[in-house]
Amino acid sequence: MDYISIETFLTIIKTQSLTKAAELLNLTQSTVSHRLKMLESSLDMVLIERGKGQRSITLTPAGEAFIPISERWWEVWREIQTLKTDGPKLSLLIGSVDSVNAYVLPPVYRRLLQHVPAIDIQIRTQQSTELYDLVERREVDVAFVLRERHLSSVDMKPFFTEPMVVVRLGDNKEHPAAVAPESLDPHDELFINWSPAYQMWHDKWWGSHVRPSRMRLDTAQLILAIMEQPKQWAIVPLSMGRSFKSIGDFVIQNLTDTPPNRVCYQITHKSPRQSAVQAIDILNQYSELLKADMNVDLVHS
């Protein structure tokens, strides 16, 4: 089985005719028939039924089953030819929780897109637990998570930390720069559980002894869609609060009793894909630039 046989078979499938396939390939019909026969011989199965007077082909069950296999074979062959012509390409599979993907990493992604030589990039948004599993299976090269989990095949290191702040509609004239937790009504909160440590701090102020939050969210993206009254409030990472403020009438308030900082971790497989090693190093360089920018922002926020 070779690319000529596969090309011939796929052309016959496309045209539904040996005659039309021969015209498209600029071959005689006998040559097309011979190639088909050689393919069937190498596979030891009949792919197309023969019969006099047939204007269109009729596939055997084996022929039907062979179509997706031949298509995959053809794609692999094309990729090999590209590799031989252009050389190996850099590729990177990145995963992240949604809040980091949307509000922290875009500057890194923009730099990766502009990098020369080009890097093929795939980005996935998943929960932290799922990302650990994907990295462990090497379906993702690098991931950014909000939970610690220790796996023998995965390296984990802190990526950055940032404070948590209150966001609400309004301006600094209406709301002071700092707010005491006891002055916030949990009934008006849009609550997100950022981490076990954050949940413990939250319970200290708004546990079962007070009115619970009426609205619990699993993604901060919903805050923008739901918050419409100045009395509503949410606690979010500073990077997210600053993004909200840049696109809407939001104010950021610090808390007089500060919650635990949010910690983001970067995880990679201890034996990454060879085609991703150089791309991971490039990502790390751009990540360092991002963290330097974030530190300046945090100092001046």
Does 301 have pLDDT greater than 60?
no
Between 182 and 85, the higher pLDDT residue: 182
Show the tokens assigned to 57.
């082909």
Q: Tell me what pLDDT residue 178 has.
A: 93
90-160+263-300 shares its CATH topology with 164-260: yes
Domain ranges for the chain, please list them: 3-86, 90-160+263-300, 164-260
Using a 10 angstrom Cβ sphere, with 0-12 exposed, 13-18 middle and 19 or more buried, the burial of residue 85 is: exposed
Dihedral sign from CA coordinates of 235, 239, 245, 251: positive
Show the tokens assigned to 298.
């945090």
The model carries a pTM of 0.66
- Per-residue pLDDT of 209-231, as tens digits, reads 666 677 899 888 899 899 999 89
Q: Hey, what CATH class is 90-160+263-300 in?
A: alpha beta
- State the Cα–Cα distance between residues 51 and 285, nearest whole angstrom: 64
Does 282 have pLDDT greater than 60?
yes
User: Topology of 3-86 in CATH?
Assistant: Arc Repressor Mutant, subunit A (1.10.10)
User: Topology of 164-260 in CATH?
Assistant: D-Maltodextrin-Binding Protein; domain 2 (3.40.190)
